[in-house]
Amino acid sequence: MKKTIISLFLVLAPVWVSAQRNLGVRPTGSGGPMMPEQAAYDITFYDLEIAVNPGDSSIVGTVTASATIVHPIEWFVLDLDTVYSVTGTAGGTISAPIDFLPFERRGSRIWVSLEQTYQPGDRVRVQVKYHGRPRIALRPPWVGGFTWAQTPSGLPWISLSCQNDGADLWWPCKDHPGDRADSVALRITVPASLVCASNGKLMNVTSNWNGTNTYHWFVSTPINNYCVNISIAPYRTVDTVYTSVTGETFPVTFWVIPEDYDRGRMHMPLFLKDLRFLEERLGPYPFRADKYGIVHTPYLGMEHQTLIAYGNEFRLNEFGYDWLHFHELAHEWWANLVSNADWKDMWIHEGFATYMEALYREELAGDTAYHAFMKGLSGRIANRKPVAPRTATSSTEIYFFPPDYTRSDTDIYYKGAWILHTLRYLLGPQTMSKFLRRMAYPDPALERVTDGSQCRYATTADVLRTAELLSGTQLDWFFDVYLHQPHLPKLLTELKGNELRLRWDVPGGLPFPMPVEVQFGETRVGVDMSNGEGRVLVPSGTTVIVDPDDWILKARD
């Protein structure tokens, strides 16, 4: 029996990457299996001192990495793009004066000799001095680097993006998502005519003798390397104070180029409306100790912690909100509060953030808008590789298709959102709401915390455990079929007389006891599929609709 499709007005989801976009170029990559020399230490703090020169598109930097040793180590290995020259390295223990250390440049890695073997528990710091012209972003933010643009008045408008390439595009670091610094200090020097926006709190601005200013920023909470960011322009700021659902207040600032200041001011109330919805659904904004910031960029957007990049040209959709802002703001929970320790679990960032937009449309315009959004996503699912592989994966491998890794794979967005859509059907709306909040804040007490201990890593196994705990049911079959292999189950139906027979045809014969709703006339019944198949009697002469609201992620006819 061919499935009858309910007619809905189709609203194509305006998500920020077109399905299977062919970029023509590939990122340099980030993450993957961690080398032993980097697994041997845990980063605690980065201190970035960088001067940006728009005149020749160059930077000069000194970066100090502080770390705790977790395995005996005599080499301290950092990643840095090959476009830079390293002029010196130094280091020693945290408590001792920093001293010269020899280094070797091996491709995109700097091997610093510690000149002794440090033991587990020792605390060390390593400093690198470097300079050069950063890689230019060819397709920001997908293929990253610096963007050296100009405002309409011809003044410098500089931004950078490095999610898929890694933060080693602009500073020496341990380029792996599994080791976030507990805090980061940035001292960014720019021409005095420009403003530098960055993560965390602005501590002060120092005027220098040579016509430059140094902006001192401090991030007080753990932060992903790729989320450490700067944007530089003759910015004006739109400032307000927001009252969180906790009752606390914190600053909200929008750095906008002068030509768009009025539009930025008009958009601020809409940004705050997005913030309120996400707080109410997921718990309080995680980084109240610092700020919430939006920075106007010459590229589309990115979820830089406390400073999301915004370049959607102030466009509102038919529901009256800016989808780009909403998506990047959702990442403050799904990416910055809850982070993957390996790129193999990146769907937790992108799938959850995409699904939040479906819930926002439901809040604004009801069930029809929700289901239309999900329908718009369904045609963009590729099913060519697992959404959540079981082994360590690089950013390039999770975001792009082999063999050349220039064509983007958006299943971590769209299929990830659909997996959550189907999970809602299975758990019920109330349990699903609890699930989302407990994924963000496993312990309600953490909703009052702002010192950084609210931040955590999560894996796909954590998502499974949370769903099972709240539902009281075993769900490994659901995750095995939808996340750990690429192909979708197919629902086979056959009407024999008055009996409708249903059977799941599942890749690899995996168990899949997904119950199915069937409608005939005005009646709806749930068909138990505990053994992968089920039957239901239907009245003669009635039209049968299987899965009438299209809740279940399955192969299309």
Q: What residue ranges of the chain are covered by domains with CATH 2.60.40.1730?
A: 36-137+162-227
Tens digit of each residue's pLDDT (9 = 90 or more) over 320-365: 999 999 999 999 999 999 999 999 999 999 999 999 999 999 999 9
d(CA 90, CA 76): 11
Q: What residue ranges of the chain are covered by domains with CATH 1.10.390.10?
A: 338-482
Return the SS3 of 345. Answer: helix
- Amino acid 26: pLDDT: 81
Contact indicator for 162, 143 with CB cutoff of 8 Å = no
- Amino acid 12: pLDDT: 40
* Alpha helical stretches, state H, 41-150: none
d(CA 522, CA 534): 21
Q: Is the pTM of this model over 0.85?
A: yes
Distances (CA, A) of 291 to 49, 249, 294, 447, 549: 22, 10, 10, 16, 41
- Amino acid 17: pLDDT: 47
- Amino acid 20: pLDDT: 52
d(CA 435, CA 362): 18
Q: What fold is seen in the domain 338-482? A: Neutral Protease; domain 2 (1.10.390)
- Amino acid 5: pLDDT: 31
d(CA 514, CA 427): 11
Among 432, 425, 416, 461, smallest CA distance to 281 is for 432
Return the SS3 of 170. Answer: coil
Residues 6+ apart with CB under 8 A from 172: 63, 65, 78, 79, 80, 86, 110, 128, 130
- Amino acid 1: pLDDT: 31
* Alpha helical stretches, state H, 216-260: none
E strand or H helix at 478, and its extent?
Answer: helix 476-482
Q: Which residues pair with 64 in a beta bridge?
A: 47, 127
Residues 6+ apart with CB under 8 A from 376: 10, 11, 12, 13
- Amino acid 555: pLDDT: 96
Tens digit of each residue's pLDDT (9 = 90 or more) over 162-178: 999 999 999 999 999 99
- Amino acid 23: pLDDT: 67
Q: Render the burial of 436-446: b for 16+ CB within 10 Å, e for the rest.
A: bbbbbbbeeeb
Assigned architecture for domain 36-137+162-227: Sandwich (2.60)
- Amino acid 21: pLDDT: 62
**Digits of tens for pLDDT over the chain (557 positions)?**
333 332 222 334 444 444 456 666 888 899 999 999 999 999 999 999 999 999 999 999 999 999 999 999 999 999 999 999 999 999 999 988 999 999 999 999 999 999 999 999 999 999 999 999 999 999 999 999 999 999 999 999 999 999 999 999 999 999 999 999 999 999 999 999 999 999 999 999 999 999 999 999 999 999 999 999 999 999 999 999 999 999 999 999 999 999 999 999 999 999 999 999 999 999 999 999 999 999 999 999 999 999 999 999 999 999 999 999 999 999 999 999 999 999 999 999 999 999 999 999 999 999 999 999 999 999 999 999 999 999 999 999 999 988 888 888 999 999 999 999 999 999 999 999 999 999 999 999 999 999 999 999 999 999 999 999 999 999 999 999 999 999 999 999 999 989 999 999 999 999 999 999 999 988 999 999 999 999 999 988 888 999 999 999 999 87
E strand or H helix at 365, and its extent?
Answer: helix 347-365
